[in-house]
Amino acid sequence: MTLLKPVAVVTGASSGIGAALARVFAANGHDVAVVGRRQPLLNALADDIAASGKARPLVIPMDLTRVDSPVRIGHELGAHGLEPAYIVNNAGYGLVGRAAELDRSAQLAMIDLNVRALTDLSLRFIDSLARHRGGILNVASVAAFLPGPGMALYHATKSYVVSFSEALHTELAPQGIHVTALCPGPVPTEFQERAGLDATKLPRLLTRSADWVAQQGYDGLMRNRRVVVPGWSNKLLSFVVRTAPRRILLGATDRAMQGRAAPPPRWPKRRELD
């Protein structure tokens, strides 16, 4: 049997929290494989990490909304003599607007990425994670803790991620596999642009940098924390929304989302459409 080298696989590593996580894993001496859609950005990140004196990450250009992508990632790793010790499911996106009016196939693709690919990658490499006493870091969001009118699908996918990861945390503990759900508040990255959020209107009190959030996520995973919510204000928020009445929350979220949608107003009320 050939020995495969352990590697930390980071998805959605082209930019934002994913790129920051790849850097943190590399800085802590892990070999890294970066997965994303944009090869030039991944190459630049890999060069950057190599220039800092660490091993150059393996670049795997891949669109994770494709159903067969997790299998192909496995093949790609195997072909380079690697197997996962850590899986970092960071790839994901959100869309702002009323679910009935947003493009339906884009929303179903969000499920394929945020839910299906994450579940697939979390479960596919368990044997290898156990062999290396590694772990799974699933990037969710504080959006997981409350339903989100104006961002309904995104909030729902993230609540899936937290529920699934918390259950896995308990199930995989006997095998020595760490499982952590990272639930950041707003982090200024390309996420906002893709979602249709106005990046200048992020709530200052809740906003943290990608680097800091990535470091918190890494530390939490190493200490096998079940859920990591970076920042005291986000911790407070996630505690409050867990106990607050849903009816009040739904109204508040709805109004907050409408205030943050990027101009021009791309979010008409259903009745105004008729």
Partner 1 sequence: MTARPVVLITGASSGIGAALARLFATHRYELALVALPEPRLEALADEIAAAAGARPTTLPFDLTERDVGRRIAERLVALGAEPEFVVNCAGFGLVGAAAELDQTEQLAMVDLNVRALTDLSLRFVDSIERHRGGLLNVASVSAFLPGPGMAVYNATKTFVLSFSEALHRELAPGVRVTTLCSGPVPTRFQTRAGIRATLPRVLACSPEFVAQEAFAGLMAGKRLVVPGVGNKILCHLLPLIPRAVLLPGKFWAMRFSTQPPARRTLIFSRRA
The residues, ordered by sequence, that sit 6+ positions from 221 with a Cβ below 8 Å of its Cβ are 86, 135, 137, 178, 180, 228
Question: Binding of partner 1 at residue 124 (CB under 8 A)?
Answer: yes
Q: Minimum CB separation from partner 1 for residue 183, in Å?
A: 13
For residues 227 to 266, the per-residue mask of contacts with partner 1, x marking binding by CB under 8 A and - elsewhere, is x--------------xx--xx--xx-xx------------
Question: 61-90: which residues touch partner 1 (CB under 8 A)?
Answer: 67
C-alpha distances in Å from residue 103, one per residue of 2, 20, 109, 176, 257: 47, 30, 10, 42, 18
Q: Does 142 bind partner 1 (CB under 8 A)?
A: no
Residue 112 sits in the site that holds partner 1 (CB under 8 A): yes
From the list 11-19, 88-96, 160-168, 208-216, the region that binds partner 1 by CB under 8 A is 160-168
126 binds partner 1 (CB under 8 A): yes
Active site residue 93: no
Residue span 188-227 as binding mask against partner 1, x where in contact by CB under 8 A, dash where not: --------------------------------------xx
When the beta carbons of 39 and 170 are compared against partner 1, the nearer one is 170
Chain-centre distance for alpha carbon 107 = 16
State the nearest-atom distance from the C-beta of 28 to partner 1, in Å: 26
Among 29, 200, 271, 272, binds partner 1 (CB under 8 A): 271
Q: Which residues in 19-58 contact partner 1 (CB under 8 A)?
A: none
Shortest spacing between CB 64 and partner 1, in angstroms: 13
Residues marked as catalytic: 154
Binding site residues, partner 1, CB under 8 A: 67, 98-100, 104, 107-108, 111-112, 115-116, 119-120, 122-124, 126-127, 130, 146-153, 155-157, 159-172, 174-175, 226-227, 242-243, 246-247, 250-251, 253-254, 270-271
